[in-house]
Each structure stands twice: as structure tokens, then as C-alpha cells.
Amino acid sequence: MNAPSSRSPRKAKGQGAERREEILAAALKLFTEFGIYGVSTRQIAQAVGISQPTLYAYFPTKDDIGGELQDRAFALLAQRLADSDRGPIETLDCLVAMLRIYVDFGLDNPDMYRIAFMSEGQQVRKLLAETKDLAMAPAVQATYGVLRGELAKLQALGLTLDLDLETLTQCAWSAMHGLVSLLIAKPSFPWVEREHLIVSQLTIIARGVWRGER
């Protein structure tokens, strides 16, 4: 479905200091409702109340807008992880708590999560094509890199299953993403009580990689 045209009053000169943020806010709203491929730069410009040439002065392409939104989502998740008061992961419960940060971020910020993890544009394809070590790509350090690092510590202590680090990390990440994306994309499905589902899923994921004492 393509986004309908929605024109805001044209911005007067001198009101442009906040335009970059306005463009990003309008794009996020439109992308969430209609998908990246259902929205044009003209529609984003109309929603903000500026001309397309003005928009292009801030973002040359729609993928640049999507890329900025993705970067911001990753940065917000990185901050969430950094601000958490979790200690060293020494027990199964500690591992579950670390995984919970990711899930809570996605469910607390569904629009940003959709853009960061549930859409694909040229920026994402270029990143994945050019980055040989996915965990070292700046845009994914906040998610894959942090999870990989924590599991590496557990692996060094002999607390994980006998699997290579990349397999452990990708299994855990894909399982968490599956839970978050389904809860976002299929809210009308007859899920069991949400908290029970989240705790159960994260416990299953944690037990799937854990080899230490419970």
C-alpha cells in the first residue's frame, strides 16, 4: 500500500534548524504505516511541509533516511545496554536478564525496531555486502556485537554448549528477533499471556546455550 499524499503548511525560511528531526519523524511514521517501499521522498517532504529539493539537502535518497533511522535505533539499543545495571553473567538468570534487554527494547520501541530489524533497503544490503565480520560492523555493534561478546565470556569459562561462537550468537539472536518481530507484526494472534511467553522463550533460549550450573 502506498502512502496517500498529505501536505503540511509550507515551512517559512528561518524555521529550518529542526527540519532534519522533522524529516526523520515524518519518515518514521510513514515507513511504519506503509513500509519503506510504499513511501516516496515527495510524500515525506509534503508531510513535513517542505519541497523535495529542501529534503534532498538533508538526505539525498530515501535509503539515507532509512539508514539514519536504523543507526539511531541501534544507538538507542546500545545506550539501553550500557545503562543497564546488570553485572557479570554468572548464572542462567543473569543470562535471561541480559536477553530481556533486547526484547524489551523492541517491544517498547516497535516503530524503530521495524525500521532497524524488519526492513531492508540499499543501506542495509550495502552494509551486509561490504562487511565480512558482521559483528564488527558499526551499525550492529549494539545488538549482535554485545550478545556475541557476552557469550564469548561464557564460552571462555566453559559455560556454553560445545558450539562455535558464531553459531551460538546467531541462534540466540534469531530466536529473540523471532519473538519480538512476531509480537509486533501479529498482535491479533491469540498469544498466551505476554509476560509468561517472554519469560518462557528467553529461558528456553538461555538453556539452549548454557552448560553451567542452573
Query: Any idea what the CATH number is for the domain that residue 94 is in?
Result: 1.10.357
Mean pLDDT of 84-91: 69
Identify whether 214 is part of a domain: no
Residues 56, 72 share a domain: no
Identify whether 105 is part of a domain: yes
pTM for the model: 0.76
pLDDT level of residue 14 (50, 70, 90 thresholds): very low
Identify whether 82 is part of a domain: yes
**What does the pLDDT read at residue 9?**
54
Last-in-domain residue among 60, 83, 100 = 60
- Quick check: 12 pLDDT over 80? no
Residues 56, 91 share a domain: no
Domain span at residue 187? 67-209
Residues 103, 47 share a domain: no
Residues 45, 73 share a domain: no
Last-in-domain residue among 18, 45, 60 = 60
pLDDT level of residue 141 (50, 70, 90 thresholds): low
Residues 199, 108 share a domain: yes
Overall number of domains in the chain:
2
Residues 203, 144 share a domain: yes
Residues 153, 98 share a domain: yes
Mean pLDDT of 174-196: 96
Residues 72, 158 share a domain: yes
Residues 128, 36 share a domain: no
Residues 105, 198 share a domain: yes
pLDDT level of residue 135 (50, 70, 90 thresholds): very low
Mean pLDDT of 108-120: 82
Between these two residues, 18 and 44, which has the higher pLDDT value?
A: 44
Mean pLDDT of 24-42: 89
Residues 82, 38 share a domain: no
Residues 51, 113 share a domain: no
Neighbours of 131 (CB within 10 A): 14
Q: Domain holding 14: CATH number? A: 1.10.10.60
Mean pLDDT of 151-156: 90
pLDDT level of residue 142 (50, 70, 90 thresholds): low
Of 90, 69, 93, 102, the C-alpha closest to 169 is 102
- Quick check: 134 pLDDT over 50? no
CA distances from 36 to 65, 108, 115, 183, 195 (A): 10, 21, 8, 20, 31
pLDDT level of residue 77 (50, 70, 90 thresholds): confident
- Quick check: 203 pLDDT over 90? yes
Q: Is 81 within 8 Å of 146 (Cβ atoms)?
A: yes
Q: Is 3 within 8 Å of 39 (Cβ atoms)?
A: yes
